[in-house]
Structure 1
Amino acid sequence: MHRILPKSLRNGHHEDQNNDASPPQQNYSETKNENPSTVKHRESEKHAIAHWEDQKRPLSPSQITIDPSKKPVGHSNKHLRCQDFELLKTLGTGTFARVWLARLANPKEGDEDKVFALKILRKVDVIRLKQVEHVRNERNILAMVAGHPFITTMIASFQDHDTLYMLLDYCPGGEVFSYLRRARRFNEPTSQFYAAEICLIIEFLHESEGIAYRDLKPENILIDAEGHLKLVDFGFAKKVDDRETYTLCGTPEYLAPEVIRNTGHGCAVDWWAFGILIYEFLVGQPPFWDQNPMKIYEQIVDGHLRFPPAMTPAARSIISGLCTVDISKRLGNISGGAARVKSHEWFKNINWDDIYYRRVKGPIVPHLRGPADTRNFDEYEDEPEERSPYTKELRDKWEKEFENF
């Protein structure tokens, strides 16, 4: 019998779950004395947001990598305010952020069913937890990659005097982790389909943008309304290009050996995690696991993979190639890069153009009652009423760090 790990044991170092879901206090005083020009700009922005999907289509990598300010999505918005949205339900929480299902306040006729995921981050919490750089990285990287078919789309970002906001597309299917837990394991065609979409994400991040994602796992992969994947939570993503970085971050079962050894790591960590992910899709649990994280680390550094007898030779081959301790021999990191992964025999039935342009139907299409259906997300308790204030002292010291958010 295969074991699906409790989600609480799989959280990354940045994701301690808290249990706090009523809307935050919204400050309406800012809008009372707005001049007509500002109001007109805000209404224009709200209309553009309501209809951003009208032109939605998978952009080619070269179209995605243009200046974010020239794209219809991914830009910093100086006119939007939290009160432009009605917050409906909490979709997820973290140590310093909460994601809400939101729709436009006072929508125009025909826009009533347009919903979004609104990520809200309190500046004081971001500062207290020393996450300023991570939050800025996440916002800037999401702007860079906006338009990719399998990465969550940041439609816009904005802020007010004490809070940061990222408006994202809503993926009503919920986490791949939940489907894997229910199914116990995925069959090979399902695993290949999901792995192919993820492979295209990694290829784009590495080869078009020089970005290491660094937290690949089923909990960070959502399913959209059409059954395709969307990678979310770019809090650990970093533009590294050909350099090495030394931050210990990620989730124990998915950490690459070079991260554990702290010898410096780069984009190759994502190919290791990709191999772990394929293994978990096919088997139902990752190859390296123990109640004690230190035991997990020992197993990873040792790098000895055990395969169930029923796993096909091609699956064993690609996982072994990806989960190679020596990064100079790791599939994806060797000459040829992602092309070598895509040409592996395990993917021989994949038409990569059809996958990228979403011409292939997803193996799991969520059953939804409507655009705002939240049945695939957990319930959360209310936010605490007491919040630390963003004082003038903090503002004077830190506000410049958020000026382009």
Structure 2
Amino acid sequence: MATGTVQHPLITHTTEVPGTTVIPRIDMRPDGLHERGKQLVESIRSGPRSANPFLITERAEEKQITLSSRDLQLSDFGLLKTLGTGTFARVWLVKPKEQKEADKNKVYALKILRKADVIKLKQVEHVRNERKTLAAVVGHPFITTLNASFSDDQSLYMLLDYCPGGEIFSYLRRARRFDSETSTFYAAEITMTIEYLHESHGIAYRDLKPENILLDADGHLRLVDFGFAKQVGNRETYTLCGTPEYLAPEVIHNSGHGLAVDWWALGILIYEFLVGQPPFWDQNPMRIYEQIVEGRLRFPPNMPASAQNIVSLLCKTNPSERLGHISGGASRVRAHPFFQDIVWDDLFYRRVKGPILPRVSHPADSSNFEEYPDPPDSRGQSIYTDDLRKKYESLFSDF
């Protein structure tokens, strides 16, 4: 199977194997916009209000974009520090060079994707899906916010809200495992996020794991890296993509998969939160797949009964029997005894702080992220040639 390096959740990491995109988990570590930006903001401020507050379809009208009105370009930002790297992208902590006095401390995460590498690694469709999905879901409290996207001769850019808390993965590894209260809190926020993606947009996220969850300054999570997200609705898709330990059986079987894969992954996530490692694991990815298809869960004796039960119901090998995908949908998940102490309105409207409060001393504090080497000399990087531009530039027109 594929091998490679997982380095940061804001990056879509891939290693090519024909017909597959599988991410291995390495060591268990750690005023206005340019015209297209304006159109983006306007496009996400419409839609009827849902009767279910967890399925918001309206957008955050109060959100203010604090960048200048001229066309955005890389030189509009000061690059402060690399937050993460991948095979064809780098995420920078950036600060706009021109800001109002009230916004002088505002910083962002700028994801830079080199066009030539996106094409070389056959990730054009994934990158387009990521931008499209993030534009559609702006306003949800537990999803990273896309403020703008733009491009230049060689690269694509996505300007995202900065989450100074870093990856929840890092906190989990330091703690080894989370207690029941912490696990339930973050599983509940993920549940509402999956419900919104599925029932408001028909989007399968397809890459749920601790590495793709960041914490904001108040200890709430933000789901990031939507490179594998795809609008499938009631249809099935056949692309093999994801992270081995979190793949659902139907993905491995290549029998067609849909929204149900995210509920399977939620079960794996709850287990990893409480135990410290996923239920199916081996150094050999093929053995992981065998365990997943077999579907035999083993629980430590000290794992709460309600947690064992919800994991068992979420990790049904037959997706038609899987909690979240069966009749009642996400409401059945929220009604499970595992979440009996959750006040869903308080959680959704962020009336409570999270159980983990990151140490953040100032808005641009990046101490919760790892250190990365300086970017390589651009002379050794792939060039987006005129031939490539003629063939692919129209596919990047959304940026």
Number of the residue aligned with 2:92: 100
Pick closer, same or farther for the CA change 1:272–1:172 going to 2, 3 Å.
Answer: same
2:361 is the counterpart of 1:365: no
Counterpart residue type for residue 130 of structure 1: K
SS in 1 for 2:245: helix
1:192 aligns to what? 184
Match of 2:247 among 251, 255, 259: 255
After superposition, the Cα gap between the structure-2 partners of 1:269 and 1:62, relative to the gap in structure 1 and judged at 3 Å, is closer
Q: Does the CA-based 8 Å contact 2:212-2:225 persist in structure 1? A: yes
Aligned residue in 2 for 1:269:
261
Please tell me the residue identity of whatever aligns with 1:350: I
The separation in 2 between residues aligned to 1:244 and 1:89, in whole angstroms, is: 40
List aligned pairs for 1:387-402, cutoff 5 A: 387-402=381-396
The aligned residue for residue 298 of structure 1 is 290
Q: CA deviation at 1:112?
A: 2.6
For residue 277 of structure 1, give the secondary structure of its aligned residue in structure 2.
helix
Gaps of 5+ in 1: 1-5, 19-38, 50-58
Paired with 1:97 and 1:61, the residues of 2 have a C-alpha distance of 32
Letter in 1 for 2:371: E
Distance (Å, rounded) in 1 between the aligned partners of 2:144 and 2:280: 29
Length, aligned pairs only: 363
Please identify runs of 4+ aligned residues in structure 1 that moved more than 6 A: 68-73
Secondary structure of 2:241's partner?
coil
- Partners of 1:229 and 1:154 in 2: how far apart? 16
Matching of residue 350 in structure 1 with residue 342 in structure 2:
yes
Cα distance in structure 1, aligned partners of 2:352 and 2:62: 30
TM-score when normalising by structure 2: 0.85
Residue 129 of structure 2 contacts residue 227 of structure 2 at CA under 8 Å; is this kept in 1?
A: yes
CA RMSD in angstroms comes to 2.8
User: How far apart, in 2, do the equivalents of 1:149 and 1:91 lie?
Assistant: 22
Counterpart in the other structure of 1:52: none
Amino acid at match of 1:396: K
The structural deviation recorded for 1:60 is 5.2
**Counterpart contact for 1:146–1:153, Cα < 8 Å:** yes
CA contact (8 A) 2:310 2:336 kept: yes
CA contact (8 A) 2:165 2:216 kept: yes
Q: Pick from 94, 111, 129 the counterpart of residue 121 of structure 2.
A: 129
Partner Cα distance (1:330, 1:239) in 2: 20
User: Does the aligned pair in 1 maintain the 2:280–2:288 contact within 8 Å?
Assistant: yes
For residues 108 and 65 of structure 1, do their structure 2 counterparts lie closer, same or farther at Cα, with a shift above 3 Å needed? closer
Quick one: structure 1 residues 200 and 71, their matched pair in 2 at CA, closer, same or farther if it must change by over 3 Å?
same
Q: Bigger radius of gyration, 1 or 2?
A: 1
Tell me the SS of whatever aligns to 2:103.
coil
State the partner residue of 1:26. Answer: none
Please tell me the residue identity of whatever aligns with 2:150: F
Classify 1:321/1:41 alpha carbon distance in 2 versus 1 (closer, same or farther; 3 Å): closer
Structure 2 residue 186 is the aligned partner of structure 1 residue 179: no
Structure 2 CA distance, aligned partners of 1:288 and 1:362?
Answer: 28
Distance in 2 separating the partners of 1:61 and 1:341: 13
Cα distance change on mapping 1:213 and 1:65 into 2, 3 Å: farther
Q: In 2, distance between residues paired with 1:144 and 1:286?
A: 31
Give the secondary structure class of the aligned counterpart of 1:119.
Answer: strand
Distance 2:314 2:326 in 1: 10
Give the 3 Å change call, closer, same or farther, for CA 314–60 of structure 1 in structure 2: closer
Structure 1 vs Structure 2: percent identity of aligned residues?
A: 64
Counting only pairs closer than 5 Å after superposition, residues 199-348 of structure 1 correspond to structure 2 as 199-348=191-340
